[in-house]
Chain A
Amino acid sequence: MTLPGFAPAASVYETQAEFLQRAFSKTQPAPAIIWLSGERKTNVSQMLGHDYPAMRLRYWCQAERSAWILEEIGKELPITVGVIIDQDYIQSLRVLTYRENRGGEVASPAFSDQFNGASLAASGALDTEIDGISGATLSVHALTRLANVALFLHGESGCTDGA
């Protein structure tokens, strides 16, 4: 999925197919859909600080493991992020496509591995402190917001029940 106004000069670190292959190495599940409406939409909007620019999101779920492809504006352009969640904990968060001119350091596994093992605290916020990167503050914040949203939607999706 791509937000409006994306720039053609993007760095693609992983395609959707490669991401799903990594998330579900043996049998890839069929995609499912979750609609952003009502209280769910309100919660996501609060996490992001704005409405998510789509009314529905597709995700992939197998047992208690889900994979999400989400997008959020860093400074001016959307960053595409793939999040794999296993039993309410982030197993992997990777930048799939980065479009900004600066701040691409967030695509480095050395940074994104900080999200591994993160889950939602009782307050609904991420329970793990993420160290920033000088010069990439907005991108770091964007990834942190998406990690929060992915964990929330994982809980909402029913994937936690092995759906």
Chain B
Amino acid sequence: MAKAGVPMARKGNGASVPRRLHRFIGVIAALYVIFMVFSGLAINHSNRLGLDQGHVSQAFLLDWYGLKAPEHIQSFAVGDDWVSFAGSQLYLNDMVVSTVIHGKGAVSGNGMIIAAGIDELILLDHDGKLIERIAWAAQGPEPVESIGLQADGSVTVKAAGQLWLADAELLNWRQAEASSNIPFWSETTAPPDSLRQSIEQQYRGGELSPLQLLLDFHSGRIFGTAGVVVYDFLALAVGFLAISGLFLWARGRRNGKRKG
């Protein structure tokens, strides 16, 4: 029901074509602007909101981005802990602790966990904190093949068939006879299913932060080229609203003067 003084033509089907078009596009553009405002604010304050930390874990989003599980996960039982290599990631149990190239094994010695990559040894404490990375190139150009423990618990590395024995602090290395008896070599072991699944999920999500997800939503890139084009049209719609609004305002003023 129209209120007194409000012309019927301004409501419902009686509205002019420009006004109806303005109203229709206005509703769509309003939703777009609201989303852009709030997502933009969140992006501007992403550090404070912690959006650049952590990673997305929802399976459907990881699938949407085409993020796949690692082809191989190599796990090594180290005391009560598990050290795993997945792609270039090094995991202590289900926690990413470092990067590594071609994991070769892991042992525990002198209160530390020592993970061997092809070109370095990574020393961790049992909470996963990095103690030191030791570049193997200091011993020679040959890549690390495997890591093991001597009978006294000190660390041994095999590189190009040559054995290297470390002191307790892993500061100094000396070559040993290739025929030396090394009672333990680190060998890959199947991890518990729950650990494997957790590592796979983390590996997939490691590439995608909440901030990246929000940026892709904000720009429309999450929907590919089509999303960007739709966002372009929505941006143009906002521009149309501004122009059509000015037009309607100017027309209203002109009509008002004529009536006056």
- Name A's B-contacting residues (CB within 8 A): 1-6, 15-17, 30-33, 53-58
A31 and B171 in contact, given A16-B135, A16-B138, A17-B138 (Cβ under 8 angstroms)? yes
Interface window among B63-71, B124-132, B156-164? B124-132
List residues of B (125-170) whose CB comes within 8 Å of A's CBs: 125, 129-135, 137-138, 169
A16 to B133, CA, bound (A): 14
Hey, which chain B residues are within 8 Å of A5, CB to CB?
Answer: 99
Whether the Cβ atoms of A54 and B130 lie closer than 8 Å is yes
Does any Cβ of A come within 8 Å of B46's Cβ? no
Chain A: CB-nearest residue to B88: A5
Hey, which chain B residues are within 8 Å of A17, CB to CB?
Answer: 138
Main DSSP-derived SS at the B contact region: strand
From A1, A15, A55, contact of B134 by CB (8 A)? A1
Does any Cβ of A come within 8 Å of B120's Cβ? yes
Does any Cβ of A come within 8 Å of B212's Cβ? no
Whether the Cβ atoms of B133 and A1 lie closer than 8 Å is yes
Instruction: Using A16-B137, A32-B171 as known contacts, list a sample of 16 further A-B pairs with CB atoms less than 8 Å apart, ordered by residue number in A.
Output: A2-B133, A3-B133, A4-B98, A5-B99, A16-B135, A30-B171, A31-B171, A31-B172, A33-B169, A33-B171, A54-B130, A55-B125, A55-B130, A55-B132, A56-B132, A58-B171
A2 and B172 in contact, given A15-B137, A17-B138, A54-B132 (Cβ under 8 angstroms)? no
A94 to B131, CA, bound (A): 24
Task: List 10 contacting pairs A-B, 8 Å CB cutoff, sorted by A.
Answer: A5-B99, A6-B99, A17-B138, A30-B171, A31-B171, A32-B171, A54-B132, A54-B133, A55-B125, A58-B132
A30 to B174, CA, bound (A): 12
Taking the closest CB of chain B, its distance from the CB of A33, in whole angstroms, is: 6
A31 to B131, CA, bound (A): 16
Hey, which chain A residues are within 8 Å of B132, CB to CB?
Answer: 1, 54-58
A55 to B133, CA, bound (A): 10
Taking the closest CB of chain B, its distance from the CB of A115, in whole angstroms, is: 24
A17 to B137, CA, bound (A): 9
A20 to B186, CA, bound (A): 32
From A1, A4, A30, contact of B172 by CB (8 A)? A30
Taking the closest CB of chain B, its distance from the CB of A41, in whole angstroms, is: 12
Hey, which chain A residues are within 8 Å of B134, CB to CB?
Answer: 1
Chain A: CB-nearest residue to B129: A55
Hey, which chain B residues are within 8 Å of A15, CB to CB?
Answer: 137
Hey, which chain A residues are within 8 Å of B135, CB to CB?
Answer: 1-2, 16
Hey, which chain A residues are within 8 Å of B98, CB to CB?
Answer: 4
Taking the closest CB of chain A, its distance from the CB of B206, in whole angstroms, is: 12
